Amino acid sequence: MAFVRKEFHHIFRDKMTMLILLVMPLLMLVLFGYALNTEVKNSKFAVYDPSHDEATRAIVEKLQINNYFILQKMLKSQAEVDAVFKTGEVAMVVVFSENFYENLLHGGKAQIQLIADGSDPNTASVITTYASTIMGNYQLELLKVGKIPYQIFPEVKLLYNPSMVAAYNFVPGVMGMIILLICAMMTSISIAREKETGTMEILLVSPMKPLYVILSKAVPYFFLSIVNLFTILAISVFVMGVPIAGSFFWLIILSLLYIFVSLALGLLISSVVNTQMAAMLISAMGLMMPVMLLSGMLFPTENMPLFLQLISDVIPAKWYILAVKKIMIKGLGAEAIILELIVLAVMAIALISISLRKFKIRLE
């Protein structure tokens, strides 16, 4: 159909936008993959150990075996703790209480203090979590000494392979975001552009059905999103090493449904705005921000206050990301994502019917 061809012309002739649309997924993957990586490796730490006994030595050794921590120096007094942080030599200081081993054996209670630099809260929380886990494992080992001494260690490694965990988290997130961005934002902008240039008026005067006008707008972005979907999947599988554990078929079905929801959202936006600027702002503020912050892409929704959780429930990206994680990472089958599929389908139907009703056949 001539009209769909025209839409492709619009996109292909606008080289800049085209480039952005195709490169953006790559940039986002790189950005989230490397720049925002929460992985902490080779963190330097110092130890203040007044007891200097069997247990403390063992713990310090355990910390060092990992490639997460490097022992920078032993401190001689409590006062030195402040000093090492000020110079920035270390990211964490481990302080043992006096008579550590004895307290552990007799009282069953011994104190370790983990001090980290809170000015970088993310890193601080990650390294202290690592450290406490390692110590927790030592404690377990103490209890089970002689029986099954090495059983715990491999588990630690699996759980705390940070680059894997990070990629698992952000690949579904990036997919959810890119698709929403292209479908919702680009569709609404392109319709708003026709309103601005006055061509929309001509189209509405013509015998062409408004529905066709809108649908043919959506077609090229539909294809672009699919191209991007495969780019993201290819990179995450072959470069980032994130496997597609579950059914590829259902992953694609799920994604098509989500693309549909996003297109419907774009149409809805375009029916309420008249300028490209407004379309851009609404998409950026109304879609990007909530998706980044509330969809569970960067921050888990479980820890949010109830009302934010409720908001996150109406964000399509949240459901999509959840379902992608289930299929792609956990390798679950279609039956595991029935809820997500239903929610997305309901959203799609609701959005389409609202936007079709809102779309004005007559310009007022």
Q: Specify the residue, 218 or 347, whose C-beta has the smaller distance to another protein.
A: 218
Q: Specify the residue, 141 or 196, whose C-beta has the smaller distance to another protein.
A: 196
Q: Specify the residue, 302 or 364, whose C-beta has the smaller distance to another protein.
A: 364
Q: Specify the residue, 53 or 196, whose C-beta has the smaller distance to another protein.
A: 196
Tell me the backbone φ, ψ of residue 114, rounded to 5 degrees. -105, 120
Q: Name the β-bridge partners of 69.
A: 43
Beta carbons of 92 and 128 less than 8 angstroms apart: yes
Q: Which residues have a Cβ under 8 Å from the Cβ of 280 and sit 6 or more positions away?
A: 185, 189
> How far apart are CB 196 and another protein at their closest, in Å?
9
DSSP state of 97: P
Q: Specify the residue, 194 or 340, whose C-beta has the smaller distance to another protein.
A: 194
Residues that bind another protein in the complex, under the rule CB under 8 A: 2-3, 6, 9-10, 13-14, 197-199, 201-208, 362-364
CA distances from 182 to 218, 251, 255, 263 (A): 10, 19, 13, 9
Q: Which residues have a Cβ under 8 Å from the Cβ of 345 and sit 6 or more positions away?
A: 257
Per-residue exposure over 277-286, b if at least 16 CB sit within 10 Å of its own CB, e if not: ebbbebbeee
Q: In whole angstroms, what is the distance from residue 260 CA to residue 355 CA?
A: 13
Q: DSSP readout, 183-240?
A: IIIIHHHHHHHHHHHTHHHHHHHSSS-HHHHHHHHHHHHHHHHHHHHHHHHHHHHHTS
> How far apart are CB 276 and another protein at their closest, in Å?
14
> How far apart are CB 200 and another protein at their closest, in Å?
8
> How far apart are CB 334 and another protein at their closest, in Å?
42
Q: Specify the residue, 1 or 285, whose C-beta has the smaller distance to another protein.
A: 1
> How far apart are CB 89 and another protein at their closest, in Å?
58
Beta carbons of 154 and 136 less than 8 angstroms apart: no
Q: In whole angstroms, what is the distance from residue 7 CA to residue 198 CA?
A: 16
Q: Specify the residue, 335 or 364, whose C-beta has the smaller distance to another protein.
A: 364
> How far apart are CB 281 and another protein at their closest, in Å?
23
Amino acid in the structure at residue 117? D
> How far apart are CB 16 and another protein at their closest, in Å?
12
